[in-house]
Amino acid sequence: MLKMKPHCETCRTPTGLTDLAYICSYECTFCESCTTATGAVCPNCKGNLVARPLRTKPPLQALGSQLSRKLFGR
């Protein structure tokens, strides 16, 4: 599971579950404006930054749904 960090690592702008944010393969997290400023290259590891997937539910709620489907078929 991806670690969805709550803020940009450069400017500390909040990056909520449904906000547009960018991550590298090491899960460094950046807002859209900081990603544009760095040319979509992670300033920490020099890897490429890609759009982070959006989450519509908190992780524990999603895991509960998955577990229920697997155990009870619903």
Place of tokens 């890609």: 50
Which residue ranges make up each domain of the chain? 1-74
Q: Which pLDDT does position 23 carry in this prediction? A: 96
Contact 48, 24 (CB under 8 A): yes
Give me the CATH code for the 1-74 domain, please.
Answer: 3.30.40
Contact 19, 12 (CB under 8 A): no
Q: How many CB atoms lie within 10 A of CB 32?
A: 15
Contact 55, 5 (CB under 8 A): no
Give per-residue pLDDT as tens, 1-42.
678 899 999 999 999 888 899 999 999 999 999 999 999 999
More confident residue, 19 or 64: 19
Q: Which pTM was predicted?
A: 0.74
Measuring CA to CA, how many Å separate 16 from each of 19, 26, 62, 66, 69? 5, 19, 16, 22, 27
